[in-house]
Amino acid sequence: MYWTLELASKLEDAPWPATRDELIDFAIRSGAPLEVTENLQEIEEEGEIYESIEDIWPDYPSKEDFFFNEDEY
């Protein structure tokens, strides 16, 4: 399983919280790349509820990871 920013961004509009099967269904219905569906199918915990993409990909960058001052914009 591998994630990139582009692949993970396809799940930003997913109906969080969601189970693995709900995320797979969302990925298919939204036309996400096949790699997203394959990554989700590799998750072993079928009944677990995921609150956000960070639960699936802990290295997903958050707003704090970007170095810019929001007050300037």
User: Between these two residues, 68 and 45, which has the higher pLDDT value?
Assistant: 45
Taking the whole predicted model, whether its pTM rises above 0.75 is answered as: yes
Query: What one-letter code names the amino acid at 72?
Result: E
| Cα(61)–Cα(53) distance, integer angstroms | 10
Give the contacts of 35 (CB within 8 A, at least 6 positions apart): 2, 7
Helix axes 20-29, 34-41, angle to 10 degrees: 170
Taking a C-beta distance cutoff of 8 angstroms, is the pair 53, 11 a contact?
Answer: yes
The CB density around residue 60, as the number of other CB atoms within 10 Å, is 17
Note the pLDDT tens digit of each residue in 18-67: 999 999 999 999 999 999 999 999 998 878 999 999 899 888 776 555 55
**pLDDT value at residue 3:** 87
